[in-house]
């Protein structure tokens, strides 16, 4: 029974690593600040404003890049998570 539980847990971790996180770029905090163009002491409002400005310019519905939009969204998430 222990081996079965171990195998199930291992499969869950493998699924999470390869499928659940697929397509989400990983950014460090300094990279995220550089992507959004905000300073180190930017508050949540400044981060959201920079994100909104950039996403409206590069959104895929307006002929922009899907990868760049994902990177901008990931940068916003990293910086807002830091503020929590």
Q: What is the pLDDT of residues 27-78, one digit of tens each?
A: 889 999 999 999 999 999 999 999 999 999 988 888 888 888 888 999 999 9
Q: Residue 60's pLDDT is what?
A: 86
d(C-alpha 72, C-alpha 55), whole Å? 7
The whole model's pTM is what?
0.70
Q: Residue 14's pLDDT is what?
A: 63
- In the DSSP assignment, the letter for residue 27 is -
Beta-strand ranges (E) seen in 1-84 are none
């Amino acid at each position: 029974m222990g081996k079965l539980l171990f195998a199930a847990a291992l499969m869950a971790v493998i699924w999470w690593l390869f499928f659940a996180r697929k397509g989400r770029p990983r950014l460090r905090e300094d990279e995220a600040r550089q992507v959004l163009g905000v300073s180190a002491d930017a508050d949540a409002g400044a981060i959201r404003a920079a994100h909104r400005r950039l996403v409206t310019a590069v959104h895929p519905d307006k002929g922009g890049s899907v990868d760049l939009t994902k990177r901008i969204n990931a940068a916003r998430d990293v910086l807002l998570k830091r503020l929590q």
